[in-house]
Chains A and B, each alone.
Chain A
Amino acid sequence: MTLISSFALHALGGVCALVILGVALLMWGGRPVSRSLILLAAGILILIVANAALWSGLSEHSYQVESWIRGWIGPRDESTSITVGFMRDAQGLAVSWATAVIASVFLVLESVLGAGADSKAGGRFPAAMAFACAGVALSWWSATPWLSVCGIVLTILGGFIALCEGWMHPAEASLAARYASERAWGLVASVAGLCVLASGQSPLGFAPIVIEPSFSATLGATLLFLGLYIQLHPFPFLGWQLTQSSLRLWRRATTTQLFLGWAAVSTLIRFDDAFRKLGISPAVGSFALLSTFLTSFAGLFVGDWRISFGLWIASGFSWSVAALAYSGAASSWAIVIGLGLAGAALAAFGSLSESIRAEGKKSPKPIDPKARAVQIGVFASIAAGTGGIGFFTFSGFAQLSHAWMSEPVLAVAGFSCFALYVFQAWKTGFQSIFRLSSGSRLPWAAVLSPYFLLVSGLGLVWTGSLVEGIHSGAEDRWFRSIWSLSFPALSNNSPEETSLVLGWSALLGVWTVSTLLGIFLAVTRPQYWEALPHRWPRMSRWVVGGYGVDYTVSRLKVGLRVTGDASVRLLDVAVWKMGIPRLLTALIQRTTRYANLMDAALANTLNQSMGRGVDYASRGLQLIQGGDVQWYLFYALGAGLALMAYFVKN
């Protein structure tokens, strides 16, 4: 038996190399910045090579899922043991490919727009990217949820390091600390959930997941879901997203949202069957739908487009969870991939747009093809992320809309939320990012590189079909569908034609109307959006404040702190420092005083008794010594002796 499978070795090697690179970048990255970017490029290359090796092995084995698992805490086959291992399947490899693509594009951006970073910070963002890429890869290549959680930890670490750009500023430092603590809450809940799931069951693994329905399984699955969901920055954890940050958008978006979301969703998608079996999917879906609505709604009240962008991404990830609950893993995966690529593209184009505007203020020049290319890119990115036809997100939303067709109430609620989601995206893009009035001196490589993400987000790339064949029998399949390889059950899916057409039509209709309305209002009525917070100030403050959640939590923290302080004051100070010492001192003093008194009294009594005894004896002796008593005693003694002699003689 080999110690480790060859594919597991490739996976482990790839992840370890990225982590080591990340550590090296942290410790020795810096001036020149190009050195750290070259190292990051090497890391991305390692990821691509590992991916390629794994993919070729997968294709040789007819795309069958293969896994290798070992015991980590406890032997492998023992119940309650914690196992780790690697899994090779199309789902995970496709996501890691996409991760490498995004990282490559941001490498280009970083080299162009990231110049000017000080020497100390020079290695940090490349290190953050290395950790984040390693984390996503590890999450999707894991054969057990335990190792997947380790991948999430790596991604969180990447996000935290990326936030270090502003560590010197109090507000940014608080933001970084808040990011870390909220992500840690999610980790705690996830691990607790896994522990509950693992107690009394056979060791947890992804292929297959064997969980028998029971109270403990439901509790564990609920905790696990909550913990993973927290990583997606959903409602009610909007506070962090709603706080302004000066961190460059593409850095914040990739490491703290997109890659983290991809890492967290890996376990959610793999646990889809388990969630359904345990019956928590309906609640999950409802909660996710509510979250998308509230998150998108908050985006309407926010003036800063970067905050609005973050809320849009968070809402999109909530959509992926809703899709998971209502229609299954395949549609969720499609939305996640499409959103990630589109979100990364929009972050890139948005940052380029900011750079162009800054250039334009310094030295204006007429708008040129580069600026137009950025504008087109913005348009295409929003279309790609909101389910525009032709993009992979459309496939996911189409499946979701079909799932709603059987429940009219759900369909109405779902399409309403979808409309708001699309509307908010266009409002954000067209109000802030799209507006350009100046040309640019940026290199074409920087302007065009995000288009690679858009091309990667096309439905054709993932489904092999122009009409996004989401059911078998698509006759225009150009090449093998990665989507079908990742979800074999998709090929057997033959939904009813009528409901499928209804779903698509409704989706397209809602998307078109929301798009047109969003663009129209953003372009022709921008003053409405600016006036919104002033028109409804209280509601605006409540919404932008995270729907009062932050306030409630801060009150709770104050309450707990007061309780803790009171306990410390009562017990540590009042009882232990003051009360008990005073009590003991008083007790000891009184006891010793009484003991002393008793001792003195006893001594006194003894003295007196002894005194009396001695006194009487001495008086007696004195009487004998002086006066007639002496003679009387002599006579008495003599008489006594004479009597004794008489009786003895007789």
Chain B
Amino acid sequence: MTQHLITFMIVLPLIGALFQALLPQSREVDASRGGVSRWVALAASVGSSLFTVALLFSMNSQSPDLQNVEILPWVGSYAISYELGVDGLNVLLVLLVGLIFPLLIAEEWEQKVGSRGMHGLFLLLQSAFVGALCAQDLFLQFFFWSLSSLPFYFLVSIWGGKGRETAAFRLAVASSLGNALLFAALVLIYYSVDPHSFSIRELAGGKLGGKVFPLFGQELPVHSVAFGLICASLALRAPIWPLHGWFTETAEEASPSVFVALSAVSVPVATYIFIRLGYSLFPETIVTAAGAIVVVGAINLVMGGICALGQTSLSSLMAFICLSQVGLMLIGIGSLNSAGVVGAVYQQLSLGLGLAGFGLFSGLIAERTGQSNFISNDGTSRLGGVATQAPMIALVAGVVVASLLGFPGLGGFVSGALLTLGSYSVSPAVVLLIVGSLLLSTYYLFNMYRSVFLGPISAEGNGRFPELNLREKAYFVPILGGLVAFGVYPKPWLDLVKPTILTLLSTLK
């Protein structure tokens, strides 16, 4: 059984999703009156998460190689195989996916409209992301990665706000374009090597170096073109400034849980794919492009921070925080040293948890007050006094904000410190940029905290703001616990990540 842990992690949510589709319609449409479907959904998701825990315990932290490998031929004539495995690069994200999706299902427990469909789509996403993370065959990875874009279209277009159709359409266009570019890159890579192969293992180590292909009478280097296509593809989905328009629009229209899945999971998975493919398949190219990666990251970091300053709604603020933090990750990826890259990998986890916490408490506030705008255009607070009425929510928000700011003792500090350590080798100016960006972050995050949680109780909030109920406490506990655990005792997680990163870095020239 331990040999097929990853398969179980992928299949169990799929089975749960299938159940959602096949279960008979409940006569009680009101979800609060119960329903087998949501318990089945939760069980499937939690079951997959438990397999994740088993996977973690089964891993050898000293080994940089892939573990729990599963290989099965799939489409033999095209050398496509069902190849899965985990190592230090993807294990933290697998844990993140296992943590977050049960919480999202729990958050949508009281969903009155199409709850089965929503839960089914979340389960599909969970499968798709686990598959994309663990796949070691390019085609298989593309399959799962493109599979992950479809549920978002439905989640946004059905359960979104007033402009949901437009936002969903734009999301679909951006995802499709990104997927098309990625597929073009894969096809190019496949046909460039002899024998043809999609296996990352076989293509790793600079096998694409020196390969060219003809286009319009010119011979173009495969590694450059493929790398460029992959960068463009992931830039659309990551998102990278200035290709982020669809992302901020989705933030405004999508429901909080859907946007958490997009920002806290999909974005880190996109950066993971970039690290995996970039370092494994294009070691020379990434050395050449490192400077550009850092520049793009710095632009994201700064522009995300500056744009966040003027945001008046919690969801838009969250989108720009995500944008800014992705820039930080890119700086770490482009630093080409162990501290920076390990920091980028750890940042995927801490950012994911931080954004999940932020999104979920934003959702609570929007649900209880009927709006997510915390400040008017003239600068006056629209919400306020939540800390007095619901101190637990204020505590949750405080811990999440502290982690996003990189306070010691929380997950954000570990990744932030490693990224700063790693980025100094790139340039001292980058460190100063990071410091400047963090100073901006303190301003807008504390401004948000003051507007929402401190001050007098606002009339717009109707004066009533119930405290967290048991279900809500239950799904915040793993997030806060994770942020504290990953911040106070990061050693076991870093021990898992570091050997793989060091091995990848050793292949760079």
Chain B residues near A219: list those with CB within 8 A.
428, 431
- Using Cβ atoms and an 8 Å threshold, which residues of chain B touch A581? 170
Q: Which of B308, B405, B417, B439 contacts A564 (CB 8 A)?
A: B308
**With known contacts A199-B421, A564-B310, A565-B310, A557–B443 Cβ distance under 8 A:** yes
Verify if A400 is at the interface (C-beta below 8 Å from B). Answer: no
Nearest chain B CB to A579 CB, angstrom units:
10
Asked if B468 CB lies within 8 Å of chain A CBs, one says no
Interchain CB contact (< 8 A) of B424 among A173, A195, A568, A577: A195
A564 and B307 contacting across the interface, CB-CB below 8 Å = yes
Given known pairs A173-B454, A192-B420, A196-B428, the reply for A150 and B408 (CB within 8 Å) is yes
Is residue B34 contacting chain A, with contact meaning CB distance below 8 A? no
Instruction: Tell me if A170 counts as interface (CB < 8 A to partner B).
Output: yes
Per-residue CB proximity of B412-454 to A under 8 Å, as 1/0? 0110111011001100100100110011101100110110001
Nearest residue, chain B, Cβ from A160 = B398
Interface residues of A in 73-90 (CB under 8 A from B): 73-74, 80, 82
Name the CB-closest residue of A to B447.
A177
Whether A191 contacts B420 in the complex (CB less than 8 A), given A71-B491, A167-B455, comes out as: yes
The answer, among A180, A191, A560, for a CB contact under 8 Å with B306, is A560
In the bound assembly, the distance between CA atoms of A572 and B303 in angstroms comes to 12
Q: What residues of A have a CB within 8 angstroms of the CB of B310 in the complex?
A: 561-562, 564-565, 568
What CA separation (Å) do A180 and B421 show in the bound complex? 25
Among residues of B, the one whose C-beta sits closest to the C-beta of A219 is B428
Q: How far is the CA of A566 from the CA of B104 in the complex (A)?
A: 34
**Do A167 and B245 form a contact, CB below 8 Å, given A173-B450, A216-B424, A560-B306?**
no
Contacts of A192 in B (CB 8 A): 420, 431, 434-435, 438
Partner pick for A168 among B309, B413, B414, B456, CB 8 A cutoff: B456
- Contact with A576, one of B246, B339, B409, B425 (Cβ below 8 angstroms): B246
Query: Is A185 among interface residues, defined by CB-CB distance under 8 A?
Result: yes
Q: Which A residues lie within 8 Å of B385 (CB)?
A: 168
**Is residue A198 contacting chain B, with contact meaning CB distance below 8 A?**
yes
Q: Do A195 and B450 touch (CB < 8 A)?
A: no
B232 close to A (CB within 8 Å): no
Given A153-B409, A185-B442, A189-B435, A195-B420 contact (CB < 8 Å): yes
- Confirm or deny: B154 has a beta carbon within 8 angstroms of a beta carbon on chain A: no
Q: How far is the CB of B478 from chain A (nearest CB, A)?
A: 19
Query: How many contacts A-B (CB < 8 Å)?
Result: 144
Instruction: Please state if A173 and B309 are interface contacts (CB–CB under 8 Å).
Output: no
Q: Are B420 and A167 in contact, CB atoms less than 8 angstroms apart?
A: no
Q: By the criterion CB–CB under 8 Å, are B245 and A153 in contact?
A: no
Most buried by B among A177, A562, A581: A177
Report B450-476 CB contacts with A as 1/0, cut-off 8 Å: 100011110000000000000000000
Residue ID in chain B nearest A226 by CB atoms: B435
B356 close to A (CB within 8 Å): no
Cβ of B494 under 8 Å from chain A? yes
Taking a contact as CB atoms under 8 Å apart, the answer to whether A177 and B449 are in contact is yes
Residues in A whose Cβ lies below 8 Å from that of B413: 191
- CB contacts (< 8 Å) of A562 on chain B: these are 310
Expressed in whole angstroms, the Cα–Cα distance for A196 and B381 within the complex equals 38
Asked whether B455 lies within 8 Å of A185 as measured between CB atoms, the reply is: no
Size of A's binding interface in residues, CB under 8 A:
55
| Complex CA–CA separation, A150 to B413 (angstroms) | 11
Report A-chain residues with C-beta under 8 Å of the C-beta of B414. Answer: 73
- A74/B408 contact (C-beta < 8 A), A189-B435, A219-B428 known: no
Closest chain A CB from B48 CB (angstroms):
30
Counting chain B residues whose Cβ lies within 8 A of the other chain, the interface size class is 35 or more
Q: Which residues of B contact A71 (CB under 8 A)?
A: 491
Tell me, rounded to whole Å, the shortest Cβ–Cβ distance linking A184 to chain B: 4
Give the residues in chain B near A178, CB-CB below 8 Å: 446
Interface string of A149-176 (1 = CB under 8 A from B): 1100100000000001001111001101
Q: Please classify the interface of chain A as helix (H, G, I), strand (E, B), loop, or mixed, using the class held by over half of its residues.
A: helix
Residue-by-residue, is B242-272 near A (CB-CB < 8 Å gives 1, otherwise 0)? Answer: 1011101100000000000000000000000
Are B450 and A196 in touch, CB under 8 angstroms?
Answer: no
Q: A575: nearest residue on chain B (CB-CB)? A: B245
The reply to whether B307 and A199 contact each other, CB–CB distance below 8 Å, is: no
B450 A563 Cβ-Cβ under 8 A:
no
Q: Once the chains bind, are A184 and B446 in contact (CB under 8 Å)?
A: yes
The residue of chain B having its C-beta at the shortest distance from the C-beta of A570 within the complex is B242
Neighbouring B residues of A561 by C-beta, 8 Å: 309-310
A181 close to chain B: CB less than 8 A = yes
Task: Determine whether B35 belongs to the interface, using a CB cutoff of 8 Å to chain A.
Answer: no
A177 adjacent to B454 (CB under 8 Å): yes
Say whether A419 faces chain B, with CB atoms less than 8 Å apart: no
Instruction: Report A435-471 CB contacts with B as 1/0, cut-off 8 Å.
Output: 0000000000000000000000000000000000000
Contact of A198 among B307, B409, B421, B435 (CB under 8 A): B421
A263 at the interface (CB under 8 A from B): no
Interface hits, B42-57 → A, CB 8 Å: none
- Tell me, in angstroms, the Cα distance from A580 to B243 when the chains sit together: 11
Pairwise interchain contact A571-B439, C-beta atoms closer than 8 A: no
Taking CB atoms, residues of chain A closer than 8 Å to B440 are 560
Cross-chain contact B249 with A567 (CB below 8 angstroms): no
Cβ of B142 within 8 Å of any chain A Cβ, yes or no, is no
- Distance to closest chain B CB from A179 (angstroms): 9
Chain B nearest CB: distance from A401 CB in Å?
Answer: 37
Q: Whole-angstrom distance from the CB of A127 to the nearest CB of chain B?
A: 12
Q: Are B408 and A153 in contact (CB under 8 A)?
A: yes
List, in ascending order, chain B residues with CB within 8 A of A571's CB.
Answer: 241-242, 244-245
Query: Given A195-B420, A561-B309, A564-B307 in contact, is the A167-B454 Cβ separation under 8 Å?
Result: yes
A146 in the interface (beta carbon within 8 A): yes
Q: Tell me whether B387 is interfacial, beta carbon within 8 Å.
A: yes
Flag whether A624 is at the interface (Cβ < 8 A). no
Are B245 and A577 touching (Cβ within 8 A)?
yes
Please pick, from B408, B420, B443, B490, the residue contacting A181 in the complex, using a CB distance under 8 A.
B443
CA distance A351 to B104 in the complex (A): 51
Q: Which residue of B lies closest to A167 (CB)?
A: B454
B482 within 8 A of A: no
A455 to chain B minimum Cβ distance, whole angstroms, is 36
A174 touches B421 (CB 8 A): no
Q: Is the CB of B388 closer than 8 A to any CB of chain A?
A: yes
A246 to B385 CA separation, bound complex (whole angstroms):
18
Q: Are A167 and B428 in contact (CB under 8 A)?
A: no
* Residue with the greatest number of chain B CB neighbours at <10 A, chosen from A191, A195, A200, A575: A195
A50 at the interface (CB under 8 A from B): no
Q: Which of A187, A198, A572 contacts B245 (CB 8 A)?
A: A572
Tell which of B241, B381, B455 has the most Cβ of chain A within 10 Å. B455
Residues of chain B within 8 A of A199, CB atoms compared = 339, 421, 424-425
| A146 touching B435, Cβ below 8 Å | no
**Pair B417/A73 contact, Cβ less than 8 Å:** yes
A72–B414 Cα gap in the complex (Å)? 9
* Apart from A73-B490, A184-B405, A216-B424, 9 more pairs, CB < 8 Å: A71-B491, A153-B408, A164-B387, A173-B455, A181-B443, A184-B442, A187-B407, A571-B245, A576-B246
**6 cross-chain CB contacts under 8 A:** A73-B417, A80-B339, A177-B446, A188-B438, A560-B440, A564-B308
**Considering the complex of A and B, which 4 residue pairs feature the smallest CB-CB distances, nearest first?**
A576-B245, A177-B450, A173-B454, A195-B420
